[in-house]
Chains A and B, each alone.
Chain A
Amino acid sequence: MKTLVLVEHDNASVKDATLAVVTAAGKLGEVHLLVAGKGCAGVADAAAKIAGVGKVHLADDAAYEHQLPENVAPLVAELMGHHDAFLAPATTTGKNIAPRVAALLDVMQISEIIGIEGDKTFTRPIYAGNAIATVESSDPKLVITVRGTAFDKASSEGGSGTVEAVAATGDSGLSSFVGSELAKSERPELTSAKVIVSGGRALKDADTFKEVILPLADKLNAGVGASRAAVDAGYVPNDYQVGQTGKIVAPEVYIAVGISGAIQHLAGMKDSKTIIAINKDEDAPIFQVADIGLVGDLFKIVPELTGKL
């Protein structure tokens, strides 16, 4: 089988999310990559070095600068003339583009796979991870998004792929990029952090969240996450949300502070290797999944913990 993997990048470097998808694609067959962007030749060169990669298709055109799905999906659909499976990371970029490709190909997408059971058979979580479905596709081509935490990352070195330029399919004229507000942070990204400290509604407000959670995260060189309640209340920006409808994370250690453990939150973090929970309610559901729990007032515990580390 010939697979085509969408490389996630910012026109400067390959994002880590790509690497797990390469591993998944490698289980299906030959791995080709697509780098669509503007001024992104350097990305294609770096992508060619990912272990296990064959060809890298480079589509360098202003229409692809911001990954607008109206422009990228037709390009992918055309390349799918010579490939059997399209795989994208289950990031907001992948989720935006892949279903559009699927519809252009008249294929039913398989979302957020966590396992590959055969050429056409995959496992995926449904109902906020409370059930795992095994599904088999009957379509002639596959369109798949891959959950990054479920596959090992391919090595970004050691590959010897070849870069081949492909012609752009043009600008649809339907959409344009206006601007973005990207969080600038020195902290590890949530989806690749080894340790994550997450805060919930109990953190009261944005200032308290900063005062209590950030020093602990700094001590542990941790990424910072939050429950939906904390995001909705404006303590932290939307991209901090961990859960069914936010980010799916699986760090070595996840520390939940003042988070009750609603199923929607658990869906995003229960594959973490070790879960530590700090909550004043000893019956909080988070303790049912926590490896280590400490019952008590977070406003006493967290500063003390930060001091003693």
Chain B
Amino acid sequence: MKILVPVKRVIDYNVKPRVKADGSGVDLANVKMSMNPFDEIAVEEALRLKEKGAATEVIVVSIGPAKATETLRTGLAMGADRAIHVAVDDGVEVEPLAVAKILKGIADAESPGLVILGKQAIDDDSNQTGQMLAALMGRPQGTFANTVAVEGDHVVVKREIDGGLETVKLAMPAIVTTDLRLNEPRYASLPNIMKAKSKPLDSKTPADFGVDIAPRLKTLKVAEPPVRQAGVKVADVDELVAKMKALGIA
């Protein structure tokens, strides 16, 4: 069984994003970029399934500008077998619906048993792509996965939901999206980073899959949120109690 893992290049989670002065977006020039943290978890899960013998090949995919190949190399260095880069021009943003359509094209060609995605990308925070891909493929989805177990031709997914945890059983092929507690991703070792350079990386374009990536949403502007002002520091618990009484909660 093959596992397909879509990975996205995003602003590093340690960087505080700044809105551009002209309100056209977030300033990404000279900002550290990394693999979306949820996608690292997705790659890790795929690798563990392969190590357990539940899968035979792990393919990482990224849709993005030339730099997205760096993210693919990271996936290969973690241990993925090969990569597919679907290239778009610099500065072109591809919406989740179009990403899902491209991924469906790749899934049709590769016939993976599982597609494991992140539950959300930490830049746009859409939380859509996996669910959309599942709908387009007409296959089941296990979102916000906390544990994943392959059992014959089914996959059992324990999901993190608002009230706790829920377990569903899905017929494969199936789509899984990762939550934070699924695993702790490995770091790529230096020898593996070297090895990754010679692993196969295919180049495609959205047109290869007949997908129109014209956006459906137009970003009219991007603004700073209202800033909170720091308040006062109190000296001791008595002062804190007085403040809380004034707020009417004590």
Q: Report which A residues bind B (CB closer than 8 A).
A: 66, 68-70, 73, 91-93, 95-104, 106-112, 121, 125-139, 172-183, 191, 194-195, 219-220, 228, 231-232, 237-239, 241, 244-245, 247, 252-253, 263-264, 270, 274-276, 282, 287-295, 301, 304-305, 308-309
Knowing A220-B249, A239-B163, say if A109 contacts B96 (CB, 8 Å).
yes
Question: Which B residues lie within 8 Å of A232 (CB)?
Answer: 180-181
Docked-complex contact B168 and A68, CB < 8 angstroms: yes
Docked-complex contact A99 and B17, CB < 8 angstroms: no
Docked-complex contact A195 and B249, CB < 8 angstroms: yes
Docked-complex contact B132 and A103, CB < 8 angstroms: yes
Question: Which A residues lie within 8 Å of B243 (CB)?
Answer: 276, 292
Partner pick for B125 among A73, A101, A244, CB 8 A cutoff = A244
* Cα A272 to Cα B97 with chains together (Å): 33
B162 in the interface, Cβ–Cβ < 8 Å? yes
Interface footprint category on B = 35 or more
Docked-complex contact B219 and A70, CB < 8 angstroms: no
Q: Nearest Cβ distance between residue B20 and chain A, in whole angstroms?
A: 9
Partner pick for A132 among B13, B133, B222, CB 8 A cutoff = B222
Docked-complex contact B249 and A253, CB < 8 angstroms: yes
- Encode B171-212 as 1/0 by CB contact (under 8 A) with A: 100000001110000000000000000000000000000000
B52 in the interface, Cβ–Cβ < 8 Å? no
Docked-complex contact A293 and B232, CB < 8 angstroms: yes
Q: Nearest Cβ distance between residue A36 and chain B, in whole angstroms?
A: 17
Partner pick for B219 among A133, A219, A276, CB 8 A cutoff = A133
Question: Which A residues lie within 8 Å of B217 (CB)?
Answer: 108, 110, 135-138
Most buried by B among A106, A139, A175: A175
Docked-complex contact A238 and B127, CB < 8 angstroms: no
Knowing A108-B216, A172-B140, A292-B232, say if A131 contacts B131 (CB, 8 Å).
no
* Given A100-B131, A131-B26, A245-B38; 20 other pairs, CB 8 A cutoff: A70-B141, A96-B131, A99-B129, A100-B132, A111-B127, A126-B26, A128-B17, A132-B224, A134-B220, A138-B217, A174-B140, A180-B167, A195-B249, A231-B181, A232-B181, A252-B249, A276-B243, A287-B233, A293-B233, A309-B244
